[in-house]
Amino acid sequence: MLRLGAGDTFHGEGILAITKGLLQSGVAYVGGYQGAPVSHLLDVMVQGKAYMDELGVHVEACSNEASAAAMLGASIHYPLRGAVTWKSIVGTNVAADALSNLSSPGVTGGVLIVVGEDYGEGASVIQERTHAYALKSSMCLLDPRPDLGVMVRMVEEGFRLSESSNMPCLMELRIRTCHVRGSFECKDNIQPAVSTRSLMEEPAGFDYMRLAHPPVTFRHEKLKGDARIPAARSYIVEHGLNELMPGRRHADLGIVVQGGLYNALIRSLQQQGLADAFGETDIPILVLNVTYPLVPEQVADFCVGKRAVLVVEEGQPEYIEQDIATLLRRRDIQTPLHGKDMLPLAGEYGVEVLAGGIGAFAAKYIENIGSSEASSSAQTWLAGNRERREAVARRLGTPLPNRPPSFCVGCPERPVFSALKLAQQETGPVHVAADIGCHAFGTFEPFSMGHSILGYGMSLASRAGVAPMMNRRTLSIMGDGGFWHNGLLTGVQSALFNGDDAVLLIFKNGYTSATGTQDIISTPDDEIKERAEDKQQSLVDKNQTIEATLKGLGVQWMRTVTTYDVERMRKTLTEALTSDFNGLKVVIAEGECQLERQRRIKPWIAGLLKRGERVVRVKYGVDEDVCNGDHACIRLSGCPTLTLRDNPDPLKVDPVATVIDGCVGCGLCGANAHAATLCPSFYRAEVVQNPKWHERLLHGLRGAFVRVLQPA
Amino acid sequence: MEQNRPITLLVCALGGEGGGVLTEWLVDTARHAGYAAQSTSIPGVAQRTGATTYYIEVFPVPLAQLGGRRPVFSLSPVPGALDAIVSSELLETARQVGNGMSAPQRTLVISSSARIFTTAERMQLGDGRADAQRLLDVVKAFSREHHVFDMNAIARESGTVVSAVMLGAIAGSGLFPFPREAYEHVVRGGDTSAPEKLGKMAAASLRGFAAAFDAVNAPRAQAAFVSSVMAGEGNDAPPQAAPLPAELASRFPPAVHDMLALGHARVLDYQDAAYGELYAQRLGRVLAAERVADPAGARGFAITREAARWLALWMAFDDIVRVAALKGRASRAQRVRREVRAGEEDLVKVYDHFKPGAAEFAALLPPSLARRVTAWDRGRQARGLSPWALPLKVGSHSVFGMASLRLLASLRWLRRRGSRFAEEQALIERWLAAVEAGTREAWALGHEVALCGRLIKGYGSTNERGKHNLLHVTDELAGRTALPAAARATAIAAAREAALADEGGKALDAALTAHGAAPRPVQAQPIRWMKRPPSVKA
C-alpha cells in the first residue's frame, strides 16, 4: 500500500494515509514509540524495512518518546526531513525536555511530530491537551480536517511550514481520525536527497547558534517571536492551510473550529438545519487546520463586522478562544465572542454536545429560529435522547455491569494476580504501586489491586515516599515494557542508590503488549523461535537481558518464577514481602505474551494436523455435578473462558462454573485449584489427535480395565 | 430511505471478535457497489476482550449521481440518529440503547441473544447474571424493529467468527442499497470460483453470512428464533420428575412431589435406604408444622417444597467419597469427551485436581481420632506452617487412577461412622428445628428460614462459611422474640441476600446490625506478621 504512486487511489485507515504522506514528502528518517492510536505508523514502517531501505529512509523503533524526540536533533544542522510519532499527552510529557531543546535553536530540515491525541471516548490516558506544548515551546500545531486528502496534504505542508519557519511542527490526530477508513489520490514517493543511500561527506561546521545553550538561548527566545512565528503565519496564509467555508445565509455570524472537529460540527449543524450533507453551511466557518500559531489578520478579518463568532475548541483550557479574545481586544473589534460559555469546558465534542452549543448560539443570534421547523426537530431530538436514557435506566432498574478490557485467555499475567491475592491472605494487604501496561488490568475485577499509577515505568519510583512510612512492605508492579521505557533508571537505579527496602515485581512477557505486542530488547530472538521444537512453550526465558542488567546494577535479591506456577509465585511473593533482606527485592514473573504465542502456535498446529502428525490439545473443564456454585475459582481468575451456565441439577439454583471453547489450556485453573484449595471440580483433559499406534494400543487396554471398574 | 442524509450503522462487539474486519468488508462492499462510505472505530486496548464499537456511514445515492460532490461523514455515532445497531452480545446492545443510541421511530436493532457474562456477573457468590429477559424488553421497547438470535451459535455451526454472521445480518436487513452479491464478492476476497473451490476461511465465512442473512431476511424463521430464545432464558424450567415410591407419595401433598422425588433419590444415591427414610421423616416434621400454619395449603406447601430441596442437598453433603463416586462414573467420562469436543479417533486423558486436607480425612474418622488429627493440624498452623493438604493429580483414564477413585467411593460405610457425618446431622437438626418453630409461629418466618438452606454449599472453607452464616442468622434473628415475626422474616430475607454479597461477609454483618442483631464473631485467621523497623530510631 505504501508503494502506491501517482494515479493510484489509496483506500485505508487514516494513520496509514499519514504514513504514506510522509514518504510522499521525502522524509529521510522516522522514529517513535508505539502507543494507541498511532502505533500503526511505526509498525508498518518497521515491517516495511526492505522498502524503506530502497528509498533510503532510516526507521528507528525508539526506547521511549524522549529518545524519539532527541532523534529530531538531526534536522537542526542538516537538510533532513524527519518525523517521529507517539501517544499524547503521555508521550509528549516524556519527550518534553528534548522538544524544548529542539525548538530553541530551531530546525533546518522539516520536522513533523505525529501525536495521537488520546482524548475522549476510547482514550486510555489522563485527559490533557497537547496544545500547551505547542504554546510553551513555540512549535506549530496542525489539527487537520479528518479527510484523508486534507490529512495527507497537511503532512506535506507541515514539512514546508517547518522549514520556512524553522519551527518543529506537531500534528495532533484524534483516535477516530487515526482509525477512519477513507481514500485519497496518491502521489509518487520521494527519495530524500540525503539518505542512508546517499550519505553526507562531512559534518556541519561548528555553529554556536545551533546549540541550546546560553547565551544563544536568549537570542533564540527573541527569534521565536520576531522571525519564526511571523514566517509561519505568512506561510499559513500564502498556502491557504486554514480553510474558509462561506455561509449561505448568515454571513453576519461565524464559527471558528479546530480542523479535527470539522465533521462533527457539520453534522451538528445538519441536525440544527443549518447545513446540508455535503457541508454547505448557512453560517461561515473558519477551519483551523493549523491551531497554533493563529494568524491574527486572518482571524480578525473573519470576525470583523460579524454580529457574533463561536469558537469550537475541544478540551481545557480554551487556549484558542483566549488567543482570539486577546487579538480582537487589541484591534478593538467589538464582535461578541462565544465558546466555552455555550459549550462544555471538558470532554469530547461529539455531535450531540456540539448540537447543544450550536442551538444556544443560533437561538441567541438568529431571528425567530426557535419557531423554525428544523430547530424544533432538533429540540425534540435532544430532549428525546435525554428522556430515553432515563426511561431505559428506569426499566433496567440496576445499572448494567461494565465490561473493561481484561487479560487475554491464557495470559501469563493473570496467574500472578491470583498468587498475589493468595499471598496477601498470609501477609495481610500491602500497598500496591501499579503501572502502565496490560498488568494494569489487575486493577479491574476480580482482582481490584493497585493504589496508584504515576506513569509508564514509574511504579517503583512512586513507592519511594510511601514505603518508609509503612509498617508492611509495599509492592511495585512493572511490565518489561515499562522497565525499559524508564523504570530501570527512575525506579531500580534510584532504589539501589538509596539502599531502599523495596519489592519490585517485573512482568517479563517479552513484548510491550498493551498496544499490539511490539518487540523490545528482551524479546526472544526470531531464530530461537525458529529453532524451538515445541512451538507452544514460552520462550522469554531464552532472553536474559533484564536479569543481566539487574545483576550488573548490583541487585542482590532476585527470583525468577514461571507465572503459571501459582503456588511457587505465592511463596516467592510472601518471601519477598517478609524476608529479612532489607534491600531491593526483584521477582521476575516469566511467561511469554499469550497473543504472541498463539500467533506462533496456530499455524504450527494446523501444519501438523494437515500432515497427519500427532498433536496434543489441552483443555480444562468443570464437573457440573461437583461444582459448588460458589464461583471462588472465578474470583481468583476472571479468565473469559471460565464462565457460568444454568445449573443442570434441578435441586440447585446457583449457576455452575464452566469452561467454554477458546480455553488454551494454560493451566491456571488447575494451579489455582491446588494453590487455593478450591473445590475438586476441575479436570485437565489432554486430547491426543493422530496418536501413535502403540499409544492407541495402550489406551485400548487401559480403557478395557477402566470400564470394568466404572459404574454407569 | 431519505436521499439527503447518510445511512448510519453502529456495530457493537467485544475485542477480538473481528469487528475491524467487518467494517473493512462493509466499506469495501460500498466501494464496489459505487457508494461513498466511511467507517471509524475506537479499538484502543478494548482489543483485550473489552466492549468496543465501530461506526459506519454510507450515502444512499451512488457516487456517480452526486456530480462530484462529496458527503461529509460524521466520525462518531449520533445518539438518536442511527438507522441500525448490530451487536454481537445482548448486554452490550442494551448498553448502547441505554446510552440513547437507539431511537424507537428510526433504529433497527439486530442483536445476538448470546450472553458473554462480564466478570462482575461471574464473580458473585450466588447468581449475579443480569436478567436477560429484561435486556430483551429494553431492546424491544426502544427499537423501530428488532431481530434477536444467537449469532455465536450460527458462527459455531458455520465454523466461522461472529463478524461474518453480523455481515450476513446487515445484508439480510436491507439496510444498505447493496445487492447480496456485492457483500459476498468482498467476503470471497474477489475470488469468484464456486464455494467448494474457495479457501476454507472464505467458505466458512460465506456459510455464516448466508445463515444470518436468512435469519434476518425470513420473518417467520425469525419469530421462531426469538421464541426459542425466550424459552431458553432463566432456569425456572420444572424439574424433571424422578420415580417416587407410592408409600412416600401418600405421605406428602402432590404440590411437593417433584422436589420430594428428586430429593429422596439424591439422598438414596448418596447413602442408603435408611438415610432416605430419615430424609422423609425430617421432611414430614416440616410438613406437619406447615399444616399448622397453613391448614388449607393456600400457599402450595412452599415451605415443605423448599425444605425438600435444601434438606436433600445438605444431607447429601459433599465429601471425598461423594466426589470420587461422581468422578468415577462412565457417564462422566463421556460428558468430558463431549465437553472437550474430542473426535472419534482422538484419545482423551483426564486428570482430576484434588487437594484433600486434614479436615477431609478427619471427616471419615470417628470423633476421637478426628479430634486428634485436627488438633495436630492446628498445631502446624500455630507454628506458622500452612494447613496440611495433599495436592493430587489423579488420571481417571488410567487403571490406577480409576481404581483409587472407586476405592474411595466404596468408603460410604465409613462415612456414617465418621465425625463429620455426626456434626452435619446435628447442624441439620438445628436448622430444621428453627424452620419448624418459625413455621408454627408464622408461615412467612418459617419460609424465610427454610430458604436459608441455600447458604449451605460446597466444600472446605466455602462450606464452613455457609454453615457459620446460616446458624448465626437463625440463632440471632429467627429466635429473637423481641421482634415481631414479620419483622424477623424480612430481616432474615435481607441477611440471606447479604450473605451472598461478598466472601468477607461485610454486607451480612451490616444487614445483621441494621436489624439490631449482633454481627458475626470474628474468625481467627493466622497471618504472617511482618513489621519493618522504623528506619530512624526514636
* Preferred mutation among A181, A398, A406, A633 to probe B, highest tally of B CBs within 10 A: A181
Contact residues on chain A for B96, CB-CB shorter than 8 A: none
Determine the residue among A651, A678, A698 to mutate to test chain B binding: the one whose Cβ has the most chain B Cβ atoms within 10 Å: A651
Q: How much of chain B, in percent, has pLDDT values that exceed 90?
A: 56
The pLDDT score that the predictor gives to residue B246 is 87
Give the burial string for A538-559 (b: 16+ CB within 10 Å, else e).
Answer: bbbbbbeebbebbeeeebeebb
Nearest chain B Cα distance for residue A76, angstroms:
34
Q: What b/e readout covers B204-236, taking b as 16+ CB neighbours within 10 angstroms?
A: bbbbbbbbbbebbbeeeebeebbeebeeebeee
Band (pLDDT 50/70/90 cuts) for residue B501 is confident
> Is the CB of B527 less than 8 angstroms away from the CB of A578?
no
Nearest chain B Cα to A639, which residue?
B119
Distance CA B437, CA B445 (A): 9
φ, ψ of residue B520 in degrees (nearest 5):
-65, 145
Among B122, B345, B525, select the one facing A634 at the smallest CB separation.
Answer: B122
CB contact under 8 A, B117 and A577: no
**Hey, what domains does chain B have and what are their CATH numbers?**
7-233 (3.40.920.10), 245-317 (no CATH), 340-415 (no CATH), 419-520 (no CATH)
Distance of CA B148 to the CA centre of its chain: 20
Cα of A419 to nearest chain B Cα, Å: 15
What distance in Å separates the CA atoms of residue A193 and residue A653, rounded to the nearest whole number?
A: 75
Contacts of B320 in chain A (CB under 8 A): 680
Chain A CB contacts of B529 under 8 Å are 428
Distance from CA of A334 to the nearest CA of B (A): 33
Chain B residues touching residue A626 (CB < 8 angstroms) = 318, 323, 326-327
What is the structure's pLDDT at B239? Answer: 44
Query: How close A542 comes to chain B (CA, Å)?
Result: 26
Mean pLDDT score of chain A: 94
**pLDDT of amino acid B537:** 47
- On whether the CB atoms of residues A72 and A101 are closer than 8 A, the answer is no
Tell if the CB–CB gap between B6 and A277 is shorter than 8 Å.
Answer: yes
Q: Which of B399, B493, B6 is nearest to A705 (CA)?
A: B399
Q: What confidence tier does B227 reach under pLDDT thresholds 50, 70, 90?
A: very low
Note which residues in 389-448 of chain A have CB less than 8 A from chain B. 389, 391-393, 395-397, 400-409, 425-428, 438, 441, 444-446
A599 close contact with B: CB closer than 8 A: no
Inspect the interface and report whether the beta carbons of A425 and B527 lie closer than 8 Å: yes
Categorize the per-residue pLDDT at B241 as very low, low, confident or very high, splitting at 50, 70 and 90.
low
β-sheet bridge partners, residue A255: A285, A310
A426 contacts on B by Cβ (under 8 Å): 527-528
Compute the count of residue pairs across chains A and B with CB atoms less than 8 Å apart.
374
B interface test, pick of A400, A406, A664 with most B CB neighbours within 10 Å: A400
Q: Tell me: the pLDDT tens digits for B426-459?
A: 999 999 999 999 999 999 999 999 999 999 887 7
What is the residue whose three cell numbers read 442511527? B82
Distances (CA, A) of A80 to A56, A97, A108, A200, A531: 12, 21, 8, 11, 41
Q: What is the dihedral of CA A489, A493, A498, A504, to 10 degrees?
A: 100
pLDDT at B242: 64
| Pick from A400, A445, A687: CB nearest B98 | A400
Position B523 scores a pLDDT of 67
Q: Which pLDDT value is given to residue A369?
A: 82
| Partner-chain contact B72 A146, CB within 8 Å | no
Interstrand relation of A253-258 and A682-689 (parallel, antiparallel or unpaired):
unpaired
pLDDT band at residue B485, thresholds of 50, 70 and 90? Answer: confident
Tell me if B41 sits within 8 A of B18, measured CB to CB.
no
Residue A692 sits at the chain B interface (C-beta within 8 Å) = no
Give this prediction's pTM. 0.93
Residue numbers in B near A406 (CB within 8 A) = 48-50, 119
Contact between chains at A428 and B323 (C-beta distance less than 8 A) = no
A264 touches chain B (CB under 8 A): yes
Q: Chain A contacts of B15, Cβ < 8 Å?
A: 405
Distance CA B491, CA B513 (A): 10
Are residues A685 and B350, on separate chains, in Cβ contact within 8 Å?
Answer: yes
Q: How far is B298 from chain A (nearest CA, A)?
A: 23
Residues of chain A under the 70 pLDDT cut: 515-516
Residue B219 pLDDT level (bands cut at 50, 70, 90): low
Instruction: Please give the pLDDT value at position B233.
Output: 41
Closest chain A residue to the Cα of B352, Cα to Cα? A683
Distance CA B310, CA B451 (A): 8
What b/e readout covers A192-220, taking b as 16+ CB neighbours within 10 angstroms? bebbeeeeeeeeeeeeeebebeeebeeeb
Do B78 and A350 make contact, defined as CB atoms within 8 angstroms? Answer: yes
Q: Specify the pLDDT at position B232.
A: 44
Set of chain A residues whose Cβ sits within 8 Å of the Cβ of B469: none
Contact B318 A270 (CB under 8 A): no
Within 8 A of B336 by CB-CB distance, chain A residues are 621, 683, 685
With beta carbons under 8 A apart, name residues in chain B contacting A146.
75
Give the pLDDT of residue B47.
60
Model confidence over B26-80: pLDDT tens digits?
A: 999 999 999 999 999 987 655 666 788 999 999 999 999 999 999 999 999 999 9
Q: Judge: B78–A446 Cβ closer than 8 Å, yes or no.
A: no
Neighbouring C-beta atoms of residue B149, cutoff 10 Å? 24
Q: Do A122 and B347 touch (CB under 8 A)?
A: no
Distance (Å, rounded) from C-alpha A145 to C-alpha A244?
12
Whether residue B237 is predicted with pLDDT greater than 50 in this model: the reply is no
Q: How many CA atoms within 13 Å lie on the side-chain side of B433?
A: 10
Share of chain A above pLDDT 70, in %: 100
pLDDT at A289: 98
CA–CA gap between residue B257 and residue B248 (Å, rounded): 9
Residue B327 to residue A626, Cβ atoms within 8 A: yes
Nearest chain B Cα to A668, which residue?
A: B353
The answer to whether the Cβ–Cβ distance between B122 and A652 falls below 8 Å is no
Predicted pLDDT of residue B357: 86
Nearest to A709 among B156, B312, B403 (CB): B403
CB contact under 8 Å between B50 and A405, yes or no, is yes
CB contact under 8 A, A392 and B138: yes
Answer yes or no: do A646 and B142 touch at CB < 8 A: no
Of B43, B74, B332, the CB nearest to A263: B74
* Average pLDDT value over all residues in chain B: 87
Q: A92: closest CA among A62, A64, A71? A: A64
Nearest CA in chain A to B13: A403
A427 neighbors A389 (Cβ within 8 angstroms): no
Helix axes B443-451, B273-293, angle to 10 degrees: 150
